[in-house]
Chains A and B, each alone.
Chain A
Amino acid sequence: MASYIGSATSRVDGRPKVTGEARYAGEFNVPGLVHGYVIESTIPKGRIVRIDTSGALGVDGVIDVLTHQSRPPMADKDNAYKDEVAPEEGSPYRPLYDDRILFTGQPVALVLAEDWETARVAASMVKVEYQKEPHVTDLHAERSRAFAIDAPEKPRGDAAKAFASAAVRHAAEYFIPTEHHNPMELFASTAIWEDGRLTVYDKTQGVQNVQKYLCGVFKMKPDEVRVMSPYMGGGFGAGLRPQYQVVLAVLGASALKRPVRVMLTRAQMYALGYRPASIERLALGASSGGTLESVQHEAIAVTSQFEEFARNDTGWGNLLYRSPNAKFEHRLVKLDLPTSCDMRAPGAATGVYALECAMDELAIALKTDPVQLRLQCYSERHQGEDVPYTSKQLRECYRQGAAEFGWDRRNAEPRSMREGSELVGWGMASGVWEALQMPATVRIVLTANGHAEVATAASDIGTGTYTIMAQVAADMLGLPIDSISVKLGDSTLPQCPLEGGSWIASSVCNAIANTARAVRGDLLELAKEMKDSPLAGVGVDDVALIDGKIASKRDATRAVPIASAMQSGNAERITREEANKVDEDKSHARNVHSAIFAEVKVDEELGVIRVTRVVNAVAAGRILNPKTAHSQVMGGVVWGIGMALHEETLFDHHFGRVMNANIAEYHVPVNADIHDIKVIFVEEPDEIVNPLGIKGLGEIGIVGVAAAIANAVYHATGKRVRDLPITLDKVIQFE
């Protein structure tokens, strides 16, 4: 039998998804379902003075309007609201808790009605009176209030002094605006009480995180709450923390003793988390020969007034480049906004953008080819920890990416390449992310009819988790993939972490391997008990499950069909549950890498930018499924194009409001913006990172893409735009 691992297997959940059979959090209909519509705060800061619900309550079909005054009880301690990924510092937001307004768009009331339209109509009749307080929402205006946090990596040497004495220097500030995730699926939760137990269908990247959170907030026992999220129409980090609608749905269901669904509108989703706007200051000092003497990276990013969210924006230089002196600083500015949160490649999408633009600028100052500079500064060891990598095929990414792109035909001079009315620019950048593993447990139930159910509490957020798990299980159990069913997205299943950080593939697949080994052991015991067993005296690691048989690895003729072994032992099923082994070994750095090459064509007079080619060469260990992996990275490139050219949440700081809270005006790329995208997976065998050599692909696709495009725009036009998005009015000074 051919191996499924490494084959371009089509999604096992493709058919249910395209036929509509797959149900999402807002699609679970139960008899007597009540619909909730959220009323949001129209001010960014202050207190609720009065809420007049009389008009809404008079509407036919309206059952109740919940406010902070009329809601059922909730926990009153911060700890109850701290989910798995809540920032360490601060007090998590408590939905509908009291009269305090912390941000525009905060829920202040929930209208509960027999249907969604009635709830929405009634919502417009609720009158909320506020007492306003002065607010701040502008990072630039408030940057002097930034305070340092100790998250960044430790300094090395004297970076300031080394910079001051460096032969060639580049220092500049880069800016990434606030961005929102905008998954296609709207956030929704359906809460159902049944016999004193609560079942919640929720749009979340972590059913067990939400389950624990709800137990805390509503003081319930673990076996009283079950959270389900079988499918998800995009998460990108927005579904890592429990979102407020799940609390409102449970409040509504508890108040009414009826099932309640709360679905947010697109506009309301702009009051959930977001990628924090950040100002990134880079200072690079190099020798005249083009090796780095000093790297300084400082980030100033947005968080809320009540929590301190931060990710590693600044430390990526430690992974990519050799430098004897380095300094990293991360500062936060508290604004009257919701707490910022993870969004695809959090920290790296922004920090590596700045770093890789700065490296391009340094290459220009050195009159060195940008790829050559990166090779000159290439680090074989993690600079901060001074350890080698489990594997790092970044050189090969540069080589294969450059070859595919045709980089050697580049004329380094800006504005030197053109096609008619358009200036042509070629730019490149590096990408880097972590290869993480988290503890996860997988249950396998093998039945005598040759079918296996593989289960864990992970969510497939659209990345292909169902598919790769089926592939790995099929190979490990020696069964055809059609005989494997994968169960995910249910908090009662074996423990699994949130689907985030690119760690799910490595975590669950290595757990499958361990569980399958246990199943194999059980089968071997059964086989050995058979009369005249051909496997007598063979150890568990000397046999494999192949083609429905348990067979000696050395002598395939010594084999017993799985079904026979189970039947002879009267075993209808074998159930095993094992975890992966998460290596705490600090002797290696674990990372994925990429090299991105981009071509832009810029209209010389009008500044209209087209990204006509992107090559993304990725080294990310073992690729389980080239088809879903390709989609994953291609999606990252598309998002990177959006980050470079389109995405920006526009705030009116006078009102403290998002002004483009819809996908007509919050621009992401459309088909016309996307041309050729070539994804290359560079071979990267890795026996150290984990037994299966899996590194994860969720984030790496976007990292560095915006920098490659910004660098290409510079090469095309001679105009360096450091503030994203690169719109035509930033490229050309129109007079």
Chain B
Amino acid sequence: MTPFQYARANDVADAIKQIATDPSAKFIAGGTNLIDLIKYDVEEPTRLIDISHLPLRSIEQTSTGGVLIGAMVPNTDLAYHPIIEQRYPLLARAIMSGASQQLRNMASTGGNLLQRTRCFYFYDTATPCNKREPGSGCSAIDGINRINAVLGTSQACIATHPSDMCVALAALEATVHVAGPAGARTIAFADFHRLPGNTPQRDTNLEPDEIITAIELPPKGFSANYSYLKIRDRLSYAFALVSVAAALELDGDTIKEARLALGGVAHKPWRSSAAEAALLGQRAEATAFARAADWLLHGAKGYGHNDFKIGLARRAIVRTLGQAARGTPQSLSDKKIR
């Protein structure tokens, strides 16, 4: 562990100013991941800038019919917010699938996007890891990789992004609002997280001196036909082996619009426009779902222990699309998968 100084940011401008003057500083909000990483000597900030008091805690309807979620809204508050429960239940279910009640109470919306991989080697400073120490090598490729990625991997890194919330945000095509020294900008959710390539140390396209201020949801919430299915090694409080966010707009039993995103399989929530296009105009039934699954998993590659994820994902996609089409989303309390 490295000693660090602690400072509180008064407002967004102050936060940006503080982070810009100190390249080894880090923002801290809920700290549900960062504090662990500091204890493991994985993150070594010399200064923590506390942004948890910034006035970014509102959830508001936008003039265009969407919803703007402040970056400091705790995960729990977001999941239980009436607008989210009613109009974006896919997001509510995804959030409630993650972590534990205590962690969700602490974790912020913005911080959820920035949580780091759970790859075993990333956390263990006695082993090489390109994400932690660029150029040192990837221990997971030939190591214990049951939890690692099967899509969008590189020679340098097979880590996954661990979030559940982000899988739903990807499917809903949210927009990330950020602010930095050069002003505010927005990043489409699909462009926010990166694939590892040769720079696995960079999880996102957020610049080091930028801060997430809000997440914007577009008007469409797919509240009639959606499901979030998370498959894991125990029935709660475990990261996804594979998770699926599915959202459909149906005309009778014909698919008018489809959204499909996978968690637990890649360095970012995994989507494929071809997979979603393959569903358009199709009858909402298993053969169409299986074709979409094939598209979504195109190019998937296992590394030994995690080979099963490809077949598991294929079946989970079909199942989740079925739940969405029937209007019977996966229950969180009853762990039976219907």
Interface residues of A (CB under 8 A from B): 42, 117, 120-121, 123-124, 420-422, 601, 603, 605-608, 610, 645-646, 650-652, 654-655, 657, 659-660, 664-665, 667, 669-673, 727-729, 732-735
| Complex CA distance for A655 and B3, rounded to whole angstroms | 29
| Complex CA distance for A126 and B246, rounded to whole angstroms | 50
Name the one of B127, B142, B338 contacting A421, with C-beta atoms under 8 angstroms.
Answer: B338
Beta-carbon contact of A657 and B234 below 8 Å:
no
B41 neighbours in A (Cβ, 8 Å): 124
| Complex CA distance for A605 and B238, rounded to whole angstroms | 20
Secondary structure class of chain A's binding surface, majority of residues: loop
A671 neighbours in B (Cβ, 8 Å): 236
| Complex CA distance for A655 and B310, rounded to whole angstroms | 28
A46 to chain B, nearest CB (A): 13
Beta-carbon contact of B236 and A672 below 8 Å:
yes
| Complex CA distance for A294 and B191, rounded to whole angstroms | 65
B337 in contact (CB, < 8 A): yes
B271 to chain A, nearest CB (A): 21
Q: Which 6 A-B pairs have the closest CB atoms?
A: A734-B311, A672-B236, A729-B308, A672-B235, A42-B126, A659-B120
Beta-carbon contact of B3 and A734 below 8 Å:
no
Interface residues of B (CB under 8 A from A): 1-3, 41, 118, 120-121, 124, 126-127, 139, 142-144, 231, 233-238, 241, 307-312, 314-316, 319, 335-338
- Give 13 A-B contacts (CB < 8 Å), ordered by A residue: A123-B1, A124-B1, A608-B231, A610-B336, A645-B234, A655-B139, A665-B118, A667-B233, A670-B234, A670-B237, A672-B335, A729-B312, A734-B314
| Complex CA distance for A238 and B126, rounded to whole angstroms | 25
A121 neighbours in B (Cβ, 8 Å): 1-3
Given A422-B336, A655-B139, A734-B308, 9 further pairs, Cβ under 8 A: A421-B336, A608-B231, A610-B235, A657-B124, A657-B127, A664-B118, A670-B238, A671-B236, A729-B312
A727 neighbours in B (Cβ, 8 Å): 233
* Chain B, residue nearest A603 (CB): B337
A728 to chain B, nearest CB (A): 7
B319 neighbours in A (Cβ, 8 Å): 605-606
| Complex CA distance for A734 and B315, rounded to whole angstroms | 9
Beta-carbon contact of B338 and A420 below 8 Å:
yes
Beta-carbon contact of A657 and B312 below 8 Å:
no
B143 neighbours in A (Cβ, 8 Å): 652, 654-655, 659
A123 neighbours in B (Cβ, 8 Å): 1
| Complex CA distance for A671 and B127, rounded to whole angstroms | 33
A659 neighbours in B (Cβ, 8 Å): 120-121, 124, 143-144
A41 to chain B, nearest CB (A): 9
Beta-carbon contact of A646 and B315 below 8 Å:
no
Beta-carbon contact of A669 and B234 below 8 Å:
yes
A734 neighbours in B (Cβ, 8 Å): 307-312, 314-315
Beta-carbon contact of B312 and A660 below 8 Å:
no
| Complex CA distance for A727 and B305, rounded to whole angstroms | 12
Given contacts A121-B3, A608-B337, A655-B139, contact A660 B120 (CB under 8 A): yes
B1 neighbours in A (Cβ, 8 Å): 117, 120-121, 123-124
Name the one of B127, B309, B314 contacting A655, with C-beta atoms under 8 angstroms.
Answer: B127
A422 neighbours in B (Cβ, 8 Å): 336-337
A667 neighbours in B (Cβ, 8 Å): 233-234, 238
* Chain A, residue nearest B332 (CB): A672
| Complex CA distance for A221 and B119, rounded to whole angstroms | 50
| Complex CA distance for A672 and B233, rounded to whole angstroms | 12
A651 neighbours in B (Cβ, 8 Å): 144
| Complex CA distance for A608 and B337, rounded to whole angstroms | 8
A653 to chain B, nearest CB (A): 9
Beta-carbon contact of A673 and B120 below 8 Å:
no
B237 neighbours in A (Cβ, 8 Å): 670, 672
B326 to chain A, nearest CB (A): 12
| Complex CA distance for A232 and B137, rounded to whole angstroms | 43
| Complex CA distance for A345 and B111, rounded to whole angstroms | 43
A124 neighbours in B (Cβ, 8 Å): 1-2, 41
B142 neighbours in A (Cβ, 8 Å): 654
A421 neighbours in B (Cβ, 8 Å): 336-338
Beta-carbon contact of B139 and A673 below 8 Å:
no
Name the one of B3, B121, B312 contacting A728, with C-beta atoms under 8 angstroms.
Answer: B312
Beta-carbon contact of B118 and A606 below 8 Å:
no
B124 neighbours in A (Cβ, 8 Å): 657, 659
| Complex CA distance for A650 and B305, rounded to whole angstroms | 12
Beta-carbon contact of A606 and B315 below 8 Å:
yes
B121 neighbours in A (Cβ, 8 Å): 659
Given contacts A121-B1, A734-B315, contact A650 B120 (CB under 8 A): yes
A555 to chain B, nearest CB (A): 63
| Complex CA distance for A53 and B336, rounded to whole angstroms | 55
Name the one of A42, A728, A735 contacting B231, with C-beta atoms under 8 angstroms.
Answer: A728
A117 neighbours in B (Cβ, 8 Å): 1
A116 to chain B, nearest CB (A): 11
* Chain B, residue nearest A671 (CB): B236
B96 to chain A, nearest CB (A): 12
B31 to chain A, nearest CB (A): 15
Name the one of B231, B233, B312, B338 contacting A646, with C-beta atoms under 8 angstroms.
Answer: B233
* Chain B, residue nearest A605 (CB): B315
| Complex CA distance for A117 and B144, rounded to whole angstroms | 32
A417 to chain B, nearest CB (A): 15
A645 neighbours in B (Cβ, 8 Å): 234
| Complex CA distance for A650 and B124, rounded to whole angstroms | 13
| Complex CA distance for A728 and B233, rounded to whole angstroms | 8
A157 to chain B, nearest CB (A): 44
Name the one of A605, A665, A670 contacting B236, with C-beta atoms under 8 angstroms.
Answer: A670
A650 neighbours in B (Cβ, 8 Å): 120, 144
| Complex CA distance for A607 and B233, rounded to whole angstroms | 10
Beta-carbon contact of A673 and B126 below 8 Å:
no
B8 to chain A, nearest CB (A): 20
A170 to chain B, nearest CB (A): 28
| Complex CA distance for A732 and B313, rounded to whole angstroms | 13
Beta-carbon contact of A646 and B120 below 8 Å:
no
Beta-carbon contact of A652 and B311 below 8 Å:
no
A132 to chain B, nearest CB (A): 12
| Complex CA distance for A322 and B126, rounded to whole angstroms | 52
| Complex CA distance for A176 and B309, rounded to whole angstroms | 23
* Chain B, residue nearest A42 (CB): B126
| Complex CA distance for A108 and B127, rounded to whole angstroms | 18
A115 to chain B, nearest CB (A): 12
Beta-carbon contact of A606 and B316 below 8 Å:
yes
Name the one of A420, A606, A664 contacting B312, with C-beta atoms under 8 angstroms.
Answer: A606
A610 neighbours in B (Cβ, 8 Å): 235, 335-336
* Chain A, residue nearest B241 (CB): A728
| Complex CA distance for A664 and B238, rounded to whole angstroms | 7
A665 neighbours in B (Cβ, 8 Å): 118, 120
| Complex CA distance for A603 and B319, rounded to whole angstroms | 11
B235 neighbours in A (Cβ, 8 Å): 608, 610, 670, 672-673
B144 neighbours in A (Cβ, 8 Å): 650-652, 659
| Complex CA distance for A732 and B231, rounded to whole angstroms | 14
B311 to chain A, nearest CB (A): 3
B234 neighbours in A (Cβ, 8 Å): 645-646, 667, 669-670, 672-673
A670 neighbours in B (Cβ, 8 Å): 234-238
A728 neighbours in B (Cβ, 8 Å): 231, 233, 241, 308, 312
A177 to chain B, nearest CB (A): 12
A200 to chain B, nearest CB (A): 27
Beta-carbon contact of B127 and A673 below 8 Å:
no
| Complex CA distance for A712 and B336, rounded to whole angstroms | 17
B139 neighbours in A (Cβ, 8 Å): 652, 654-655
B213 to chain A, nearest CB (A): 30
* Chain B, residue nearest A645 (CB): B234
| Complex CA distance for A574 and B185, rounded to whole angstroms | 83
* Chain B, residue nearest A662 (CB): B123
B236 neighbours in A (Cβ, 8 Å): 670-673
| Complex CA distance for A42 and B41, rounded to whole angstroms | 14
* Chain A, residue nearest B99 (CB): A664
Beta-carbon contact of A606 and B337 below 8 Å:
yes
Beta-carbon contact of A601 and B336 below 8 Å:
yes
